[in-house]
Amino acid sequence: MTPETGTPDDRPPIEDVLSRFLEGEPEPGDGEALAAAMERNEQLAAEVRRLLAVDDLLRQTHELDPSAFTEALKTRLAAEDDCDDFTRAILDQIPEAGEPPPAAPASTQPSVNPLATPRSAWRFGARLWAFAAAAVLLAVGALWWLAPASTDRGVASQVAWLNNAQNCQWAEGGTPAGGIIPGKVLQLEQGLAELLFHSGVSIVLQGPATLELRSESSVRLLHGRLSARVPEAARGFEVLSPEGKVVDLGTEFGVSVADDGSARVYVFRGEVIAQPAGKSPAGPVSVREQQSAQIGAAGVSLETRGVGAENFVRAIVPPPSIVPRSLTLDFRHAKGGTLQDRAGLGTGLTHRLPGTGQALPLRDTNLRLDTQLGRLELTTTENDLNRQCKVDQGEYVGVLLSDLGFTGTEDFEVTAVFPNTPALGEVDQLGLYAGTRGDKNIRGGLLRPGGKQGIGPSTQFFVRNNGGDDSNLYMVGMVSTGADLVLTLKRVGGKYSLMVENQTTGESTSLSIRHPEFLDGEKGIHVGLFGATPWRNVPRTISVKEFKTTVWTRRYPGS
Amino acid sequence: MESPARDRAWFIDRVRECQARLRASIRALGVRAEAVDDIAQDVFVLAWQKLVEFDHSGEFGAWVVQIARRLVANERRKEARRNRILAGEVTDLMLRLAPEAEGPLTRLERDEALTALRTCLGELPTHGREMIQWRYFDHLSPGAIAGHLGRPSNYVRQSLLRLRRLLLECVEHRLLSDGR
């Protein structure tokens, strides 16, 4: 199946009306317009009904607990069995959560059977339990209230459930485990938690925060931050705070409570009433779309130019998936369009570290691809990145990370296998690099320390170069000539390290240096391998068996 | 039906079978999505109370849909503080139309209907499936999805409308070819 194509221009306006209606967001006049169109067009009327039906079936398809509806009904029917007419009469006198006081009844519609008047099935159970509590109270006195809340009240007594969570850490005793029943206090130490109420209200709680669930239509934010989406059907939903409360009028808003108990509300859509606590002489204030208000000891102060919207998380967006993108070279095939060896064979490596190798010929006489053995041989030249000595003839060959989707922030890794490492002379070096230029990079691998005359064992090293001179040189251990080495230079969580795995001795060493902040956020990072014999023209040949670069790209849902 | 217990088991079985159809039918009357389950629960409770009136030679699913239509009509008449109807004019019209017009999908038992829908969901392009997932599983509003995609809300609403049409077409086509 492929989606139909269509442009906004050829779409009749009724499509806009219908799409708003289906999403539960009709604008004034939409109902009339849709009804009139359906009256005229029987086919449209039938389609609207089928679309609404499929909408609900989609909702059912995505239910977390497919048996929840039936189980709730069973609980309710069981309650019916226990309730005689007297009980029901009492139940009808207990107001539903969020209902106005008895002076303003929700409905004056006469009804022979109280159940013939639609009301919340889910709330019904709560009312039944309230009645049961009252009955037991009469029988055994107030001691009943001291008993801990029963946990077997069933589905109907839950006011909300945890619908989504991201990186959540809950305080002990403040987790949603055991059900979110009235009186439950959630203590979110970090992360985001989305609570969904039966009434359709959705709250995103941002840790650290403490929230008391009072009823289906009332919560108390003790500290921290939340955003709430309240459908029209749940108007009147309230968020209490130490200095006052916010009462919704069908909208989306955010509330934060500071350590001193003062609260700030920001309205994304619609309107809320911000009401100071009883002790304040000030009255309620209406806060409208894109306005914010402070609720403190002195009352409510409206900020006409809303501030703080950016502090609220309005929805939990799935984190990006991490997708590795790699380039692997085994040097068994020549690759056209890449850096050429002395015979004109493409090595597979695509870029030189900028600022290096400009003096080298197109067919690089220092490179030899041996496709039979699967090796790339690199013959060193006299140069050194330290003090930028003859770098125009330096061999620093590799790849540009952006070719693998790197945008400056991703983690990455480059690995190369160096079999049978050669004997090195004083300050000779080989290894891997990462950087944007010959004078802005980090590099590491093997180095024959200065001051050691002649050829001999090498040391593992890792060094920064920012501006042309090496700094923060780190050296450790000793590596004998002829060892097979696997070098891995990587950035994980933004931090760099170099791993040297000696396959001959079975030892491995991890090296780190002061963080090269000059590479942070750089988009044009190159990685690759190098070999150099500074201060003297004594070429040495380095063999490379495998080369692999990986960038851990992020893929956002929908992108 | 010899005993109330057995009666109850029989009733719950019928609920399992026809709840998908009932809930979809209530939604098709223009009831707000978030109020559908509340009304469906009321319908089943009422059906349980009036079970003696049910003609066992008839179809249970059609019977509860009739009860739902009466309840929704009642809902439409009263001035509820929490209005569960999206637009009165639309619901009035829906109530005048015959109850059978929700299409073949709602005539199936719950498992069959949801299975058919899932199969068709699987045939949607990835971006379409993701959008359905955000809307129905993550319960994101079109505005939230739009914010995430960096597109206008209307784009999301229109996309969702197209996706529902595709799903309808797919499911109904399948059912027709199955001879239902």
Query: Which of the residues A34, A73, A112 would you substitute to probe the B interface, choosing the one with the greatest number of B C-beta atoms within 10 Å?
Result: A73
pLDDT of residue A558: 61
Residues A489-521 have pLDDT tens digits of 999 988 999 999 998 888 888 898 899 999 999
Residues A402-416 have pLDDT tens digits of 999 999 999 999 999
pLDDT of residue A376: 97
Q: How far apart are CA A228 and CA A90, in angstroms?
A: 33
Residues A214-264 have pLDDT tens digits of 888 889 999 999 999 998 888 889 999 888 889 998 789 999 999 888 899
Residue B166, Cβ neighbours under 10 Å: how many?
20
Q: Inspect the interface and report whether the beta carbons of B84 and A122 lie closer than 8 Å.
A: no
Token pair of A18 as six digits: 């219908």
Residues B41-98 have pLDDT tens digits of 999 999 998 888 888 888 899 999 999 999 998 888 765 434 788 888 899 999 888 7
pLDDT of residue A79: 65
Question: Contact A531/A384 with Cβ under 8 angstroms?
Answer: no
pLDDT beyond 50 at A539: yes
Of B80, B89, B102, the CB nearest to A53: B102
Strand partners, A431: A445, A530
State mean pLDDT over A165-194: 85
State mean pLDDT over B21-44: 91
Report the percent of chain B where pLDDT is more than 70.
Answer: 88
Chain B CB contacts of A11 under 8 Å are 158
The C-alpha of B87 sits at a distance from chain A's nearest C-alpha, in angstroms, of 5
Highest mean pLDDT among A83-97, A254-268, A434-448, B26-40: A434-448
Closest CA to A442 of A402, A412, A422, A483: A412
More confident position, A541 or B140: A541
Chain B from 73 to 132: CB within 8 A of any A CB: 74-75, 77-84, 86-90, 92-94, 97, 101-103, 105-106, 110, 113-114, 117-118, 120-121, 123-125, 127-128, 130-132
pLDDT of residue B135: 87
Q: Inspect the interface and report whether the beta carbons of B74 and A118 lie closer than 8 Å.
A: yes
Q: How far apart are CA B130 and CA B128, in angstroms?
A: 5
Chain A CB contacts of B18 under 8 Å are none
Q: What is the DSSP letter of B78?
A: S
Of B24, B88, B144, the CB nearest to A53: B24
φ, ψ (nearest 5 deg) of residue A486: -115, 120
pLDDT beyond 80 at A128: no
Query: Which of the residues B74, B141, B162 would you substitute to probe the A interface, choosing the one with the greatest number of A C-beta atoms within 10 Å?
Result: B141
Closest CA to A133 of A144, A147, A118: A144
Closest CA to A218 of A245, A192, A190: A245
> What letter represents residue A531's amino acid?
G
pLDDT of residue A388: 94
Residues A57-107 have pLDDT tens digits of 998 888 766 777 888 888 777 766 654 443 344 334 333 333 333 333 333
ipTM field? 0.92
Q: How far apart are CA A241 and CA A254, in angstroms?
A: 13
Residues A306-330 have pLDDT tens digits of 677 888 999 888 777 788 899 999 9
Chain B CB contacts of A196 under 8 Å are 139
pLDDT band for B180, please (50, 70, 90 cuts).
low
Q: Inspect the interface and report whether the beta carbons of B161 and A19 lie closer than 8 Å.
A: yes
DSSP one-letter string for B117-168: HHHHHHTS-HHHHHHHIIIIIS---HHHHHHHHTS-HHHHHHHHHHHHHHHH
Q: How far apart are CA B95 and CA B28, in angstroms?
A: 10
More confident position, A470 or B139: A470
pLDDT beyond 80 at A435: yes
Handedness of CA A88, A90, A91, A92 (dihedral sign): positive
pLDDT beyond 70 at A152: no
Report the percent of chain A where pLDDT is more than 70.
Answer: 81
Chain B CB contacts of A202 under 8 Å are 139
φ, ψ (nearest 5 deg) of residue B28: -70, -10
3-class DSSP assignment, residue A476 = strand
**Residue B136: closest C-alpha in chain A:** A59
Taking 3-state DSSP, the helix, strand and coil percentages for chain B, each rounded to the nearest 5, stand at: 75, 0, 25
pLDDT of residue A146: 25
Q: How far apart are CA A552 and CA B96, in angstroms?
A: 59
First-to-last alpha carbon distance for chain B, in angstroms, is 30
Residues A375-430 have pLDDT tens digits of 999 999 999 999 999 999 999 999 999 999 999 999 999 999 999 988 888 889 99
Chain B CB contacts of A28 under 8 Å are none
Q: Inspect the interface and report whether the beta carbons of B164 and A231 lie closer than 8 Å.
A: no
